Amino acid sequence: MTDDLRIDSLEGVGPVTTRKLSDAGVHSIMDLIVRGPVEIAEITGMDKDMAEKTVNKARKHLVEGGQLAKDFVSAAEIYKHRQSIGKITTGTNCLDTLFDGGLETQALTEVYGEFGCGKTQFAHTMSVMVQKPKEEGGLAGSVLYIDTENTFRPERIVSIAKAHGMDPERVLDRIIVARAYNSAHQVLILEEAGTVIKENDVKLIVADSAVGLFRSEYLGRGTLSARQQKLNHFVHLLSRIAETYNCAAIATNQVMASPDIFFGDPTRPIGGNVVAHTSTYRIYFKKSGKKRIARMVDSPHHPEEEVIFALGEAGVIDPEEADKKGAKKAAKKPASKKADEAPAAPAAAPATEAKDPPTGTGTAGAKPGAKGAAAPDDADPIEG
Ligand SMILES: Nc1ncnc2c1ncn2[C@@H]1O[C@H](COP(=O)(O)OP(=O)(O)O)[C@@H](O)[C@H]1O
Ligand SMILES: [Mg+2]
């Protein structure tokens, strides 16, 4: 770490305070800003005024170094700055169009949708694409992948990397996976992430799912405000890290598909509003037969539009690619549907949908089929 980013380079911060901060995962001036004055006061026992002063000093320091924007800037300066924001290609034309070029750094992008709509596949794909060199639409950066549902699959990374002509070993090496076991652990991982981000040149942070653990741990009405408060803390942290460290951040959020359960717009993540308010971009994924629909919702500058994409070996793919592959398969094996059903996997999967042959990649707790053969993924109830 360069000397001018060290906490003890700030006036008024002595060794005792530095030690307390370090114990709480605050190692640099950037971390001070990410955590903010209220938390810094709690950690160090400083009074609020002093903590505010310290964080403001940290901010000033970074502004002077050109790492953070000044408090008052002209629109022209903001425009210029926005031109310099990194974008990560999704590896597809359709989603790149939706994102207006790609996934942005210094922003939190929420991806929400029902079970099986492709949130995790998208997160895997972006974990590969961010590693592409800049000339090819990536940021040559690495990934911090916070996995809360145990659905991270290195095998998928290998397939996606190969499909994009990249060395799978190298790609795997540059994804740092943090498995979160409970919501407090999930928060802790992020609080301590600063050093990992800096040392590994992380350009993408994934929280898949951002919401699930909070939802399952805080059940019932009485706990709703506590849950929202904690979740709020997590997503704000994520968003501030993205800004301060110039990374892209993805937060996934699983929502119910059944429109009859909730009032209002079925595409709104109920209980996930905290994420919605904090994120810069919100993308809604929806199943449409074998294809998927992605919609940009509430963006400050994108039109509200929809595109069709598909899922394949290469992760998220353009729908034409899926059609091409489908055609090839059909040519090889006429009446492929029947053929899939009959001899396929004698011991296996209790009648998941025939239209969706088991891929073997084992996505998130594939419980629906087990409960009732007829239950489609969509019926999978989510807690909360
Ligand atoms: N290797 C693969 N090739 C093609 N499609 C795949 C592959 N692996 C998973 N999928 C597709 O991804 C879907 C699951 O998507 P996923 O991202 O896990 O959903 P979620 O939104 O719940 O995270 C499966 O239904 C399957 O259609
Ligand atoms: Mg998932």
Q: What is the pLDDT of residues 49-91, one digit of tens each?
A: 999 999 999 988 888 887 777 888 889 988 888 887 899 999 9
Q: How many CA atoms lie within 13 A of 275 on its CB side?
A: 30
**Does the beta carbon of 311 lie inside 6 Å of ligand 1?**
yes
How high is the pLDDT of residue 356? 39
Averaged pLDDT, 302-322: 93
The residue contributing the CA closest to ligand 1 atom 5 is 312
Averaged pLDDT, 286-307: 89
End-to-end CA distance of the chain: 42
pLDDT band at 279 (very low <50, low <70, confident <90, very high): confident
Domain coordinates of the chain in residue numbers?
3-64, 85-319, 321-379
How high is the pLDDT of residue 362? 35
Assigned CATH for 85-319: 3.40.50.300
pLDDT, tens digit (0-9, with 9 covering 90-100), for 174-194 = 999 999 999 999 999 999 999
Assigned CATH for 3-64: 1.10.150.20
The CA 148 to ligand 2 mean position distance, Å, reads 9
**Residues whose CB is under 5 A from ligand 2 (ion)?**
119-120, 151, 364
**CATH topology match: 3-64 vs 85-319:** no
- Provide the mean pLDDT of the chain: 82
The residue whose CB lies within 8 Å of the most ligand 1 atoms, and thus the one to mutate among 115, 128, 359, is 359
159 CA: nearest ligand 1 atom: 1
Are the CB atoms for 134 and 89 separated by under 8 Å? no
pLDDT band at 12 (very low <50, low <70, confident <90, very high): confident
The CA 381 to ligand 2 mean position distance, Å, reads 14
How high is the pLDDT of residue 361? 37
Residues 273, 375, 352, CA angle at the centre, nearest 5°? Answer: 110
Give the number of whichever ligand sits closest to the CA of residue 287. Answer: 1
336, pLDDT greater than 80: no
